[in-house]
Amino acid sequence: MFRKGEGMNRQHRRHKLLCIDNHGSSNYLRFLLVRRGYDVDIVSFLCDALDLMRASTFDLFLVNEEFALGSGKEFLRRLGEAAGPTPVIFYSNVIYPYCLRSADQSGSTPETPVPVTELGEAISRALAAATTPPMARINAA
């Protein structure tokens, strides 16, 4: 028999996410993502994020697009260097239900953030793409 939690770890490893967001609503985001089975760390500053990135590994980085745009190009450059091949998704807490949606809602740039209501699906797609070998992606296309 497995010790408490051991069986789950062998069957399904929980993905570890780091969220960079300086809004109080990030606690709600953590709640939603933990319910979906993710381990989530949230920091409010890039320096704290860089410290965590050096100390641990993450499967995906989430960045509030408002925070990213307000921090400027230096923030994006440093984040990109630190993230390396790990996927980064920009998301927005602001939802405009009656606006036309951008054709690109991948969250790959802060100009096209994923709405927080669709973040779970965007994370699943990004993690699946990151763990699929390149040849398998080509063959599946």
In one-letter notation, the amino acid at residue 74 is E
- The sign of the torsion formed by the CA atoms of 57, 92, 12, 138 equals negative
Report which of 96, 85, 80 is spatially closest to residue 57, judged by C-alpha positions: 85
Burial per residue of 35-67, b for 16 or more beta-carbon CB atoms within 10 angstroms, e otherwise: eeebebebbeebeebbebbeeeebbbbbbbbbb
Q: What is the pTM of this model?
A: 0.74
Beta-sheet strand order (sheet of 114-115) = 39-43, 16-20, 60-64, 88-92, 114-115
pLDDT in tens, 1-42: 334 444 444 345 789 999 998 887 788 888 889 999 999 999
Mean pLDDT by 10 residues, the chain (141 residues): 41 82 83 92 90 91 83 81 88 65 56 80 88 52 45
Which residue segments constitute the domains of the chain, with CATH numbers given?
Answer: 14-93+104-140 (3.40.50.2300)
Residue 122's SS3 state is helix
Burial label for 123, CB within 10 Å (0-12, 13-18, 19+), is buried
